Amino acid sequence: MRLYLDNCCFNRPFDDQSSLTVRLETEAKLHIQAAIRTGQYMLGWSYILDYENAANPLEERRNEIQQWESLAAISTAETPEILVTMKEFVAVGFRPLDALHLACAVVMQCDYFLTVDKGVLRKANRVSSIQIMNPVDFAIEQE
């Protein structure tokens, strides 16, 4: 099973953990990452993850997240197909960067797009080509 974690998901462990929701999402994300490390899931990686991560002003976070690229089973650079797919997602209400992440995941044939971005999650029903889920819901579904 192929998974794509967006930048919000990768950054969740670095967020303020005083909220129960954030703590649960962090634990679920770490659980999923452990399963990626053992080969239970395959990770998809994209150039837009590189782009967003490079903009992170905190070097420790940037380096920690970038290490995941080496564990990716599949990765993609920008292609015309990704740009066409991105425009389709923008047309149904996704912001351009979110649409690029989604398009990369779809073109790489990922089964799930995991995010903690509430705006993306609210629009999940607008996409039929990939399942968009919060990592907590994904972890529960897989149990």
Total count of domains within the chain = 1
User: In the predicted model, what is the mean pLDDT of the chain?
Assistant: 97
Query: What's the sign of the alpha-carbon dihedral 71, 64, 99, 139?
Result: positive
Count of Cβ atoms closer than 10 Å to residue 30 Cβ? 14
Average pLDDT over residues 68-88: 97
Domain that holds residue 34: 2-142
pLDDT score at 5: 98
Q: What is the CATH number of the domain that holds 115?
A: 3.40.50.1010
User: How sure is the predictor about 92, in pLDDT bands with cuts at 50, 70 and 90?
Assistant: very high
Q: How confident is the model at residue 9 (pLDDT cuts 50, 70, 90)?
A: very high
Select from 109, 132, 134, 141 the least CA-distant residue to 27. Answer: 134
Kind plus residue range of the DSSP H or E element containing 8:
helix 7-11
Within 8 A by CB and 6+ apart from 81, the residues are 107
Record the pTM.
Answer: 0.96
